[in-house]
Amino acid sequence: MPTSSKKPKPCLVVLDVGHGSAAVLHDEGGTLVCDAGPKGTHVLRHLQARRVNQVDTMLLSHADADHIGGAVTLLLDASVRVGEVLLNADSSKVSNKSPVFLQLCVALVDANRRAKTQVNELTTSTRLERNGAQIEVLHPPDAWARAGVGGKSPTGERLTSNSLSAAVRISCGPRCSVLLGADIEFSCVDEWKARGFQPSASILVFPHHGGLTGGGSLSDAAIFAYQLVQAVKPGIVLFSNHRTRFGHPLKEVISGVLKANPTVQLACTQLPERIHPRVATEASWSLHKASEGTGIVQGSLRLDFTKDSVQCRFEIASP
């Protein structure tokens, strides 16, 4: 029987990893991982369920444990080969002897020796040649990454792990795009404004799991949410969060998002109980309605890229 020549439709799965971030892109170009969640096997199990044994590229937005922990498991597993890892150095994790970051360094050495995995920098100059969806790194600029954590931005601001967090946009067209916010902060939004850049996307995976920006207050969280949504202009905002840790997404963040776009749709990988009553009464939370009209649906979110839009639905069967 002849094999089908039909191209696979691109999809991005925002995995339910609790308090952490991990997303996996499947498209004509293969498989790409953007952050790998906290320590555990979330990404590995997702790949195994789909019989994927090759990851072309893994992007690690920054070196916080809730974004890189799962990368250690993936890199050390011989059943999956990772072709390239993109991340930036973080001297603060070395000086503080962050166990997860040190484990990642060991795993990268092992993957390079065993599977020839390459390690490269992740900045706005990063170019990913793919046959499928387009990948753009919208932050940090080269000069910021080279100054490094503890260095200073061109405006004199001290750079941190979060202010150097990568922002990645995945798109298949002008109205078919997802912006993965990782842990970007005000400095990223300010840098976009300074150079007149438009980071627009159909869907925004909100930074900090819907929590505080680094060192910020609750009022800062609301202002940041407002400014970010105004800049990105998404129709859907997603939160990769744990239903009980830190009360994410914060009510102040939700308020800022809705102030910027009152018609936006909201969804969490794990929906806090305090929000359950709002699913039945508020259109902004309607994505959580079960198909039969009763109960609450939550879990990993599958984003299917079509010709003119990105369709968002829960993928309950996903690990």
Q: Each residue of 171-203: pLDDT tens digit?
A: 998 789 999 999 999 999 999 999 999 999 999
Lowest mean pLDDT among 7-11, 57-61, 150-154, 306-310: 7-11
Please check whether residue 96 lies inside any domain of the structure: yes
Tell me: the pLDDT tens digits for 29-41? 899 999 999 999 9
* pLDDT value, residue 4: 46
Distance from C-alpha of 10 to C-alpha of 26, rounded to nearest angstrom? 6
Residue 5 clears pLDDT 60, i.e. is over it: no
Please check whether residue 287 lies inside any domain of the structure: yes
Please check whether residue 2 lies inside any domain of the structure: no
What's the domain range around 58?
11-314
Please check whether residue 1 lies inside any domain of the structure: no
Please check whether residue 302 lies inside any domain of the structure: yes
Mean pLDDT of 210-229: 91
Lowest mean pLDDT among 61-65, 154-158, 208-212, 224-228: 154-158
Identify the CATH number of the domain in which residue 24 sits: 3.60.15.10
* pLDDT value, residue 317: 54
* pLDDT value, residue 319: 39
Calculate the average pLDDT of the chain: 92
Residue 237 clears pLDDT 80, i.e. is over it: yes
CA angle 25–210–276, rounded 5-degree value: 95
Distance from C-alpha of 166 to C-alpha of 180, rounded to nearest angstrom? 9
Distance from C-alpha of 142 to C-alpha of 136, rounded to nearest angstrom? 14
* pLDDT value, residue 95: 83
Pairing verdict, β 236-239 and 134-139: unpaired
* pLDDT value, residue 1: 42
Q: What is the number of domains present in the chain?
A: 1
Distance from C-alpha of 252 to C-alpha of 166, rounded to nearest angstrom? 24
Mean pLDDT of 244-263: 96
Residue 82 pairs in a beta bridge with 55
* pLDDT value, residue 97: 85
Taking the CA atoms of 278, 282, 287 and 292 in sequence, report the sign of the dihedral they define: positive
Looking up tokens 């096997």 gives 41
Please check whether residue 44 lies inside any domain of the structure: yes
Please check whether residue 6 lies inside any domain of the structure: no
Side-by-side strand order, sheet with 236-239: 134-139, 167-173, 176-180, 203-205, 236-239, 265-268
Question: Is the Cβ–Cβ distance between 270 and 251 less than 8 Å?
Answer: no
Please check whether residue 189 lies inside any domain of the structure: yes
